């Protein structure tokens, strides 16, 4: 699933490409991806709306459009947005030119396509069709239960170490699962929780009640450093994620533990181990990340 760096990558690229563009019409072959309106009503509302801003909240892409509407896109497990010149041929959308959009098979699952007023198309590619697209009035979105329960943004300048430390007061649970809880702090999933904890030398199953201030400082510092580094590299493309132009990100080339079970740790030579936590795989180095 795209995490904070992947979503932030798309948001920044969208801001550079589609501000002040207008939606002409919308196509889909998977109406179930539109969640809170019928597709027909969704088409009518979004037609003619101008893109005012693009931002992120957690793992959600938020496209502010005219008439005070917000287009919310959550890419879920296999979804990613693409932008380019597409043409509809033989019942499907295909790129007009050669390049990443046409060459990478991960970009061929186009299930929702927005025609823009500059002739380009903004498309959602999603192999498993788990993504969601919602249309909200801005005030209603910000007052919705799901939106209001989201935790703080880890890269906000106001989210200091002091505020991070406060989150752990009376908190219980294993540290990796706590970091992945979107009501605790947003945007961190399996990839970055594993990498953050390796960098901080913390075992993924460590109980948060056993962490001292120095442990928390290392986690906070690693979190900020790793998330920013991945944004710089345009995210992780170990699996399905691609950038807006259809290209792979680069973070997967520098991971230390994620998906490296049985391989040697780059720092100590010990073999990376994998365990299951909450139904998800956790990767760690038993020598670099011993339990207390």
What residues does 64 pair with on adjacent strands?
53, 70
**Tokens describing residue 118:** 């500059």
Angstrom distances, CA of residue 266 to CA of 99, 251, 271, 272, 278: 34, 16, 9, 10, 27
86-105 burial code (b ≥16 CB/10 A, e <16): beeeeeebebeeeebbbebe
User: How wide is the angle at C-alpha 57 spanned by C-alphas 235 and 222, nearest 5°?
Assistant: 50
Whether 2 is a known active-site residue: answer: yes
Whether 280 is a known active-site residue: answer: yes
Pairwise CA distance, residues 174 & 241, whole Å:
28
**Candidates 12, 49, 217, 280; catalytic one:** 280
**Candidates 21, 56, 57, 59; catalytic one:** 59
Pairwise CA distance, residues 174 & 288, whole Å:
18
Whether 59 is a known active-site residue: answer: yes
Whether 3 is a known active-site residue: answer: yes
What residues does 72 pair with on adjacent strands?
62, 134
Length of the chain equals: 292
Pairwise CA distance, residues 102 & 89, whole Å:
14
Residues annotated as catalytic are 2-3, 59, 280
């Amino acid at each position: 699933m795209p995490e904070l760096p992947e979503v932030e990558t798309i948001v920044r690229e969208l801001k550079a490409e589609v501000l002040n563009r207008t939606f002409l019409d919308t196509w889909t072959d998977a109406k179930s991806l539109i969640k809170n309106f019928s597709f027909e009503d969704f088409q009518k509302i979004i037609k003619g709306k101008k893109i005012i801003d693009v931002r992120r909240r957690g793992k959600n892409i938020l496209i502010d459009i005219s008439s005070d509407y917000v287009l919310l896109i959550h890419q879920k497990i296999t979804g990613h947005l693409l932008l380019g010149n597409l043409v509809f041929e033989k019942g499907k959308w295909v790129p007009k030119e050669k390049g990443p959009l046409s060459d990478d098979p991960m970009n061929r699952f186009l299930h929702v396509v927005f025609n823009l007023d500059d002739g380009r198309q903004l498309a959602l590619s999603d192999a498993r069709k788990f993504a969601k697209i919602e249309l909200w009035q801005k005030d209603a979105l910000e007052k919705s239960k799901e939106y209001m329960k989201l935790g703080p943004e880890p890269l906000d300048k106001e989210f200091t170490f002091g505020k991070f430390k406060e989150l752990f007061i009376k908190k219980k649970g294993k540290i990796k699962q706590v970091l992945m809880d979107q009501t605790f702090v947003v945007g961190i999933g399996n990839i970055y929780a594993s990498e953050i904890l390796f960098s901080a030398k913390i075992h993924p199953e460590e109980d948060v009640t056993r962490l001292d201030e120095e442990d928390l400082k290392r986690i906070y510092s690693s979190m900020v450093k790793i998330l920013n580094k991945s944004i710089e590299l345009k995210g992780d493309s170990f699996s399905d994620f691609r950038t807006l132009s259809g290209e792979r990100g680069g973070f997967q080339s520098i991971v230390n533990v994620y998906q490296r079970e049985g391989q040697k740790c780059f720092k100590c030579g010990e073999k990376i181990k994998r365990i299951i936590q909450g139904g998800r795989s956790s990767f760690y180095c038993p020598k670099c990340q011993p339990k207390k």
